Structure 1
Amino acid sequence: MAKVSRAHRAALAERAAHIRQQGQRANWDVAAIAAEMTRRLPELAALEVWRLAYGWSRPQVVAAIGELYAADGLAPPGVTTARLCRWEHDGVQPAPDYAAALARVYQVRPHRLGLNLPSLASTAGYGRRSQPSTLGAGMAETALTAVADSVALQRDLEGPAGGPGTRQHVQQAVDYYARHYSRYAPSVLAGEIHRARQMVVDMLTHDQHEADRAELRRLAGWLSALLGNLAFHTCDYAGAHIHLSTGARLGSSVGEGHLAGWSLGAQSMVAAFGQRPTDALELAQHAHDYADTPLRRAQITAWCELRALAALGRRSDAAAAAARAQHHMDSATDQPGRFGFDRAEFHQHLAESALRLGQTTAARDHADTALSVKPHGSPGWAAVTVILARTHAAEHAPADATAVATTVLDTVPTTHLRETTRQRLTALDQDLHTEHRPAPAAREFHDRLQTLPAPTPAQRTSSEPNGG
């Protein structure tokens, strides 16, 4: 490989960073970003391409290799950033063990890194198959942090007040957070959204054209709505109320009805889980004022109004609300993402309301329908699974109830266990202990719930956007 000057090398790295940002905005995976870098920057060796596609520095890769060795009970490797640089730039092949470790770090076959290891072609590790590890979580977290990093980089280019490119990056960040909401632990995601929102708040302190200021406030509102939901999922009811109120206020002030309506709907949910059904119903009725499509009307009716009516025991009103929600849903198209609504979630809410009203068979049917389309292990799957377990408890089948609910505790990491699911698990525990002599399985389930760690709060905070 021809010698490349340091200045040209820096220019290539900068171009690679731009390609990575473009790929992230288009929701490409790392492999697609690496392929585009290879196509547009043929001077880069494959080993360097994959590092840049992940956005990692050489010290980070060296540290990751060290973590692999430690996890395998091996002595620390002799890898340094200088050696990695030679492997990337001078065409020097690493020793087989190091090459296999690199393949595990980047989670690709060795040949895709330009490494000649035919004996390891069917494995992702040195002497053993790669197992899922914290590296996978680390890579996911790297993708998450890169979102706000991209906003910061664009703002550096356009100045403290930002500009059209920065506002576009913030919108893309909102879209990413909403689409991948369930992928990350709530506390981790909240920390990154706080970081993005703080940049928007900072930009609002600078002179802006009125239209630009309105756009920034709209974006701040959507970020606040996400933070409100995440605060609730980590049992921070006060924080949820503050953030969701901000989202509703900003949505109303800039004419973003969907934002205002969704934020009010989320406030209704928080009130319902806080055992304030009258407040929940009032908030749901206010949210209806902004529900301007069949899908949004179905969402507010099933998500908020029906829950409150069932909690209040208003059976005929709840039946009418369920019928209205079904009518709206029949003429709607599912919309994915945190701010959307789909038939799986629709049936989840019908199931929970039916259970609250003592309609066990209907609750089980709706739960089964929701489970048939919920991704296994997702937060939605966890919620419906516990609802299904409660139908078994209502039918005096404690062994079935605990067996079903235990799959949630065995599947979902405690860091991803939302307040809503925790409350449902607690309600199931209470269901199982209505008997004078609870079954052994119920006692074991109770003991396991007592060992659950408290929810992890957000890692960062940001000031509330002002109304100016």
Structure 2
Amino acid sequence: MPKISRADRAELAQKAAHIRRHGQRADWDVATIADEITRQVPDLAPLEVWRLAYGWSRPQVVAAIGELYAADGLAPPGVTTARLCRWEHDGVQPDPDYAAALARVYQVSPQRLGLNLPSIAAGAGYGRPTPSTLGAGMAETALTAVADSVQLQREIEGPDGGPDTRDQVERAVGYYTSHYARHAPNVLATEIHRARQMVVDMLTHPQRDADRTELRRLAGWLSALLGNLAFHTADYAGAHIHLGTGARLGISVGEHRLTGWSLGAQSMVASFQERPTDALELAAQAGEHADTPLHRAQITAWCELRALAALGRRSDAAAAATRAQHHMDAARAEEPGRFGFDRAELHQHLAESALRLGEPRQAAEHAATAVALKTTGSPGWAAATVIRARAAAADHAPADATALATTVLDTVAPEHLRETTRQRLAALDADLHTEHQPARASRDLRDRLRALPAHTPAQRTSPEPNGH
């Protein structure tokens, strides 16, 4: 890369800052902002791209590395802003320990930072929460501030709330939806319970009919989120309760999207409980509320296709796959967030259904497409990568399957590993041990899976907002 003048570099940094501000207004996560900076400002090295995507100065990054060393009981590191500058601009590779620290600060793999040091990949701890106030600490502080804002506004307007309090709850639902993948399920569920408790409390006070309807609508969306989080921590009973509340509140306030999504999520839960007939019935109910091409694509792929494949109805599953793709093509745009749908998720469901129907190579193609469209380390990336691993195992490539699964375990912290991905990993483990003498790598993978800690439940609950 040719030498860039200081003035030109300042201009590049300003352009990156503009992209970051635009991304924050659009509720992009940091990885998406980094990808967009890389696309629009290709002269920046990856290490600088990620710092600018976070909006951090070099002294802040140096301080964060120092915090990591202190938390690990190590002597202060010899990192300076000048040294960090050389790593960013001069193509100088940091020592492995410093590279591992940078990966932890930015919470991505070393490779995404342009640090081609595979020897640190397994133990660096990237993607895991760090004690740095710039890493997970900042994310958790931002999360708790959401419900705090609702509480403060309610204190201003009174116990029954008011228009500004309801607006804050609406903003909270939007934040939880768009940042769903950033937090461990139990942590996010605890905060959503806190927000929903305030909504339930407001419903116990006299309200105008229109205001009560709005609060019940918001309570329904919060319940749908809690149902999905319960599902991701293997609390199937809780998932059905919360999702059932979301569906009922959606019907009572005329919110078709809420009703359809909650029923669709219940269909997914039934599928993972190996109840495909119930899942198909719930999918049909959800489909009655899908009123846009994107939502029809979602329900068809997410619920109907999965259930048909589980029932072995090959021709019906093929027809559903075609319909889902046609609906997706007709959609005006993809929707981000937990309640949205995109092509990555479409290909994930197509892959898993193909796998279920005994078509591993087709499954591998769809899974590879989904992986390419997802950010490394995200829940969607993890799910699609394990589906790729299962396809490799079905195609008699156990070494490839084990390597893919190991990559997921090396990249995603246990507390962020959803129950859906754990079940896929368990299925892969069973696939790999069908042989009489499984390979050593397969046995090591089984040991790692058995060592995974149990899911941590949310630290608080809130009553179901079913009353009028």
After TM superposition, the score normalised by the length of structure 1 is 0.75
1:134 aligned partner: 131
Instruction: Pick closer, same or farther for the CA change 1:225–1:399 going to 2, 3 Å.
Output: same
Deviation at 1:350, TM superposition (A): 0.2
1:400-458 C-alpha deviation (Å, 9 max, x unpaired): 11011110000000000001000000000111111122122211111111111111111
Deviation at 1:250, TM superposition (A): 0.2
Q: Is the 1:306–1:353 Cα contact (8 Å) retained in structure 2? A: yes
Q: Secondary structure at the match of 1:149?
A: helix
Q: Is the 1:229–1:240 Cα contact (8 Å) retained in structure 2? A: yes
In structure 2, give the amino acid aligned to 1:252: I
Query: What CA distance in whole angstroms lies between the structure 1 residues aligned with 2:456 and 2:423?
Result: 16
Q: Is the 2:68–2:131 Cα contact (8 Å) retained in structure 1? A: no
Superposed, 1:246-261 pairs within 5 Å as 246-261=245-260
Q: Is the 1:306–1:321 Cα contact (8 Å) retained in structure 2? A: yes
Larger of the two Rg values belongs to structure? 1
Deviation at 1:170, TM superposition (A): 0.3
Q: Is the 1:385–1:405 Cα contact (8 Å) retained in structure 2? A: yes
Matched, 1:170 2:174: no
Query: What CA distance in whole angstroms lies between the structure 1 residues aligned with 2:377 and 2:245?
Result: 32
Superposed, 1:51-450 pairs within 5 Å as 70-71=70-71, 73=73, 131=102, 132=105, 133-135=130-132, 136-332=135-331, 333-450=333-450
Query: What CA distance in whole angstroms lies between the structure 2 residues aligned with 1:443 and 1:29?
Result: 36
Instruction: Pick closer, same or farther for the CA change 1:450–1:212 going to 2, 3 Å.
Output: same
Cα RMSD after superposing both structures? 2.9
Query: What CA distance in whole angstroms lies between the structure 2 residues aligned with 1:365 and 1:439?
Result: 25
Q: Is the 1:25–1:172 Cα contact (8 Å) retained in structure 2? A: no
Instruction: Pick closer, same or farther for the CA change 1:139–1:301 going to 2, 3 Å.
Output: same
Query: What CA distance in whole angstroms lies between the structure 2 residues aligned with 1:327 and 1:441?
Result: 41
Instruction: Pick closer, same or farther for the CA change 1:464–1:255 going to 2, 3 Å.
Output: same
Query: What CA distance in whole angstroms lies between the structure 2 residues aligned with 1:352 and 1:395?
Result: 14
1:454 aligned partner: 454
Query: What CA distance in whole angstroms lies between the structure 2 residues aligned with 1:119 and 1:343?
Result: 41
In structure 2, give the amino acid aligned to 1:453: P
1:179-221 C-alpha deviation (Å, 9 max, x unpaired): 0000000000000000000000000000000000000000000
Q: Is the 2:67–2:131 Cα contact (8 Å) retained in structure 1? A: no
Q: Secondary structure at the match of 2:238?
A: helix
Query: What CA distance in whole angstroms lies between the structure 1 residues aligned with 2:83 and 2:339?
Result: 48
Q: Is the 1:310–1:357 Cα contact (8 Å) retained in structure 2? A: yes
Query: What CA distance in whole angstroms lies between the structure 1 residues aligned with 2:448 and 2:66?
Result: 35
1:344-392 C-alpha deviation (Å, 9 max, x unpaired): 0000000000000001121111111111111111000000000000111
Deviation at 1:29, TM superposition (A): 10
Instruction: Pick closer, same or farther for the CA change 1:378–1:26 going to 2, 3 Å.
Output: closer
Q: Is the 1:348–1:370 Cα contact (8 Å) retained in structure 2? A: yes
Deviation at 1:466, TM superposition (A): 2.2
Deviation at 1:138, TM superposition (A): 1.1
1:18-50 C-alpha deviation (Å, 9 max, x unpaired): xxxxxx9986999xxxxxxxxxxxxxxxxxxxx
Query: What CA distance in whole angstroms lies between the structure 2 residues aligned with 1:450 and 1:119?
Result: 42
After TM superposition, the score normalised by the length of structure 2 is 0.75
Query: What CA distance in whole angstroms lies between the structure 2 residues aligned with 1:28 and 1:319?
Result: 34
Query: What CA distance in whole angstroms lies between the structure 2 residues aligned with 1:297 and 1:241?
Result: 22
| Unaligned 5+ runs, structure 2 | 1-23, 31-63, 88-97, 106-129
Q: Secondary structure at the match of 1:372?
A: helix
Q: Secondary structure at the match of 1:267?
A: helix
In structure 2, give the amino acid aligned to 1:173: A
Query: What CA distance in whole angstroms lies between the structure 1 residues aligned with 2:180 and 2:443?
Result: 34
* Aligned residues between the structures: 375
In structure 2, give the amino acid aligned to 1:281: L
Deviation at 1:246, TM superposition (A): 0.2
Q: Is the 1:250–1:467 Cα contact (8 Å) retained in structure 2? A: no
Q: Is the 2:71–2:131 Cα contact (8 Å) retained in structure 1? A: no
Of residues 325-334 and 301-310 in structure 1, the stretch that sits farther from structure 2 once superposed is 325-334
Query: What CA distance in whole angstroms lies between the structure 2 residues aligned with 1:119 and 1:407?
Result: 30
Instruction: Pick closer, same or farther for the CA change 1:172–1:447 going to 2, 3 Å.
Output: same
Identical amino acids, percent of aligned pairs: 75
Deviation at 1:71, TM superposition (A): 2.4
Query: What CA distance in whole angstroms lies between the structure 2 residues aligned with 1:65 and 1:265?
Result: 44
Deviation at 1:276, TM superposition (A): 0.6
Instruction: Pick closer, same or farther for the CA change 1:434–1:290 going to 2, 3 Å.
Output: same
Query: What CA distance in whole angstroms lies between the structure 2 residues aligned with 1:399 and 1:65?
Result: 36
Query: What CA distance in whole angstroms lies between the structure 1 residues aligned with 2:83 and 2:326?
Result: 60
Instruction: Pick closer, same or farther for the CA change 1:432–1:208 going to 2, 3 Å.
Output: same
Query: What CA distance in whole angstroms lies between the structure 2 residues aligned with 1:65 and 1:401?
Result: 35
Of residues 220-229 and 438-447 in structure 1, the stretch that sits farther from structure 2 once superposed is 438-447
In structure 2, give the amino acid aligned to 1:355: L
1:129-174 C-alpha deviation (Å, 9 max, x unpaired): 9752322111110000000000001001000000000000000000
In structure 2, give the amino acid aligned to 1:364: A
